[in-house]
Amino acid sequence: MKKFLGLLILAASVSTAWAAGEDTFKQVCATCHAQGDKGSPKIGDVRAWSKLIKEGQVNLTADGYAGVRAMPARGSKPDLSVADFAAAVVYMANEAGAKWKEPDEAMLKKINARLAQRERSKK
Ligand code: HEC
């Protein structure tokens, strides 16, 4: 297990940020989003994604990370960071015509703030 984690960390640190979004998609999100399983918005489905893209990058990223309806929190990968999740969202949104960039510090702060707000409202 330790060896496996080490490999994961190595893999994460050598890949560039842009490729990371696509990698995370392939490794984690594709299970459902490649085919639109369980009613998930399918990769490249402009109609399904255009509604989501309108929610804005901060809200969509935070809501997806926290989990909505049949979408499992963190794409059911508990150790997935907000930044990695966000990169995968950027990848999927852009495949459907958005021109999003990976969140900078300021946007990550907003995403984290919305996540904290959601945590509080659950209690
Ligand atoms: C187990 C299947 C599954 C996996 C794995 C999964 N998703 Fe989803 N996802 C869904 C489903 C189902 C929905 C639709 C939820 C709904 O609207 O009922 C969804 C919806 C979403 C949404 C839209 C949320 C909203 O506000 O409506 C985003 C963004 C998203 N997923 C991102 C991701 C990312 C990024 C990953 C990988 C890190 C991922 N998903 C992995 C099933 C999955």
| Cα of 80 from ligand 1 centre, angstroms | 14
What pTM was computed for the model? 0.88
Q: 12 CB contacts (<8 Å, ≥6 apart)? A: 20, 84
Domains of the chain: 18-122 (1.10.760.10)
Q: Count CB atoms within 10 A of the CB of residue 30.
A: 17
Half-sphere exposure of 85 (CA within 13 A, CB side): 27
pLDDT for 31-40, tens place per residue? 999 999 999 9
Ligand 1 in contact with 89 (CB < 6 A)?
yes
Closest among 91, 2, 81 to 49, alpha carbons compared: 91
pLDDT for 82-92, tens place per residue? 999 999 999 99
pLDDT for 46-76, tens place per residue? 999 999 999 999 999 999 999 999 999 999 9
Ligand 1 in contact with 60 (CB < 6 A)?
yes
Q: Give yes or no for a contact between 85 and 64, defined as CB atoms under 8 angstroms apart.
A: yes
| Cα of 111 from ligand 1 centre, angstroms | 16
